[in-house]
């Protein structure tokens, strides 16, 4: 079988990234020095950017379709945490070599998720170097309806969507640090490689949640970001943390749920009298949503078990790119 021709930079753009249909609010998309876009009336623009680097954010041998999916998903997750509806993305792709089969699979994974959420690719850049992918995503939110990290109040309940620890367990299995049944390992690895951005859940939080963040670097570490921004503390029940059956079977299930990262669930706080509306909305989405603690005035994060006894663990700092991480 003949190998496909290696594309040049502009051929690469035409072959793999210009081919998709654009939204009606894209006046000028890929092909010029900048995109020209229309922001709807009575909407504000939320913008986020993330970079994924091979060997840091995904194993180098990861299926390129999964890399494409995840590169977009992590940005959509950030918009979801703000209560924003995604609209446009720009993609900067750094490649060691422009391998056609890799590019085709990457583009399929990227655009499958983009089309699921009505997102248009409107520009970007390609260059040669170590594999890394940067995506900038933009979305719309009504004025005053964005959900920030800084709004948590004493007395608020703390909730999280979905389950925690699956992606971290999947990474450990892939690296040979855990032994799992093949089907369980594959399911956990899928949670690592192809996270689900909780876009619809983020819209449910608009006007109801007091604060929110997506769980990317570990629940405990990300919750601390909310606490610092809001000037409050929290008591967290580690026995209430929602985990899958596979994670529940691990001796360190609570540590995985607290610290493993890459879950991309939504962590949010809400006044007790507003929780019912959010839970009803999550039920309509068939999305699990669990109360795991409460906001208190005393600064810091207190971990307890179901009996109210202190739970001590050394691994709740969350991932940090500029320190040693286990």
Q: Is 149 annotated as a binding residue?
A: yes
Q: Is 206 annotated as a binding residue?
A: no
Give the rounded distance of the alpha carbon of 5 from its chain centre: 35
Q: Among 318, 54, 78, 23, which Cα is nearest to 197's?
A: 78
Q: Is 228 annotated as a binding residue?
A: no
User: Residue 313 and residue 233: Cα distance in Å, rounded?
Assistant: 18
Which of helix, strand or coil describes residue 301?
A: strand
Q: Give φ, ψ of 296 to 5 degrees.
A: -130, 170
Q: Is 320 annotated as a binding residue?
A: no
The CA dihedral of 95, 101, 106, 112, to the nearest 10 degrees, is 160
Q: For 32, which DSSP code?
A: B
Q: Is 159 annotated as a binding residue?
A: no
Q: Is 78 annotated as a binding residue?
A: yes
User: Residue 160 and residue 164: Cα distance in Å, rounded?
Assistant: 9
Q: Is 319 annotated as a binding residue?
A: yes
Q: Is 225 annotated as a binding residue?
A: no
Q: Give φ, ψ of 280 to 5 degrees.
A: -65, -40
Q: Is 264 annotated as a binding residue?
A: no
Give the rounded distance of the alpha carbon of 17 from its chain centre: 23
Element (H, E) at 263: none
Question: Helix %, strand %, coil % for the chain, to 5?
Answer: 35, 25, 40
Contacts of 29 by beta carbon, 8 Å cutoff, 6+ apart: 22, 35, 120, 121, 122, 123
Which of helix, strand or coil describes residue 270?
A: strand
Q: Which residues are annotated as a binding site for substrate?
A: 57, 262, 319
Q: Which residues are annotated as a binding site for ATP?
A: 124-125, 149, 216
Q: Which residues are annotated as a binding site?
A: 33, 48, 50, 57, 78, 124-125, 149, 214, 216-217, 262, 319
Q: Which residues are annotated as a binding site for Mg(2+)?
A: 33, 48, 50, 78, 125, 214, 217
């Amino acid at each position: 079988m003949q190998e496909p021709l290696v594309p040049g930079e502009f051929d690469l753009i035409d072959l793999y990234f210009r081919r998709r249909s654009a939204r009606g609010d894209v006046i000028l998309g890929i092909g010029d020095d900048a995109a020209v876009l229309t922001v709807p009336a009575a909407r504000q623009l939320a913008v986020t950017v993330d970079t994924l680097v091979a060997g840091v954010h995904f194993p180098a041998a990861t299926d390129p379709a999964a890399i494409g999916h995840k590169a977009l998903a992590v940005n959509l997750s950030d918009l979801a945490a703000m209560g924003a509806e995604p609209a446009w993305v720009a993609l900067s792709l750094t490649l060691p070599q422009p391998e056609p089969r890799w590019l085709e699979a990457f583009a399929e994974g990227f655009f499958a998720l983009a089309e699921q959420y009505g997102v248009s690719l409107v520009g970007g850049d390609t260059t040669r170097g170590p594999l890394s992918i940067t995506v900038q995503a933009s979305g719309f939110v009504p004025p005053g309806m964005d959900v920030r990290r800084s709004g948590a109040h004493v007395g608020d309940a703390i909730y999280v969507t979905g389950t925690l620890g699956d992606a971290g367990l999947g990474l450990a299995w892939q690296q040979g640090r855990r032994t799992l049944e093949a089907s369980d390992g594959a399911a956990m690895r899928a949670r690592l490689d192809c996270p689900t951005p909780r876009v619809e859940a983020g819209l449910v939080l608009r006007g109801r949640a007091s604060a929110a963040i997506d769980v990317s670097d570990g629940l405990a570490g990300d919750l601390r970001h909310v606490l610092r921004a809001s000037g409050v503390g929290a008591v967290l029940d580690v026995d209430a943390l929602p985990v899958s059956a596979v994670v529940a079977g691990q001796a360190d299930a609570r540590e995985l749920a607290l610290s493993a990262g890459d879950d991309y669930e939504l962590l949010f706080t809400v006044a007790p009298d507003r929780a019912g509306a959010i839970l009803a909305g999550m039920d309509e989405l068939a999305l699990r949503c669990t109360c795991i603690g409460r906001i208190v005035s005393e600064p810091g994060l207190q971990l307890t078990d179901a009996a109210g006894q202190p739970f001590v663990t050394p691994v709740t700092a969350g991932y940090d790119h500029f320190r040693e991480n286990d």
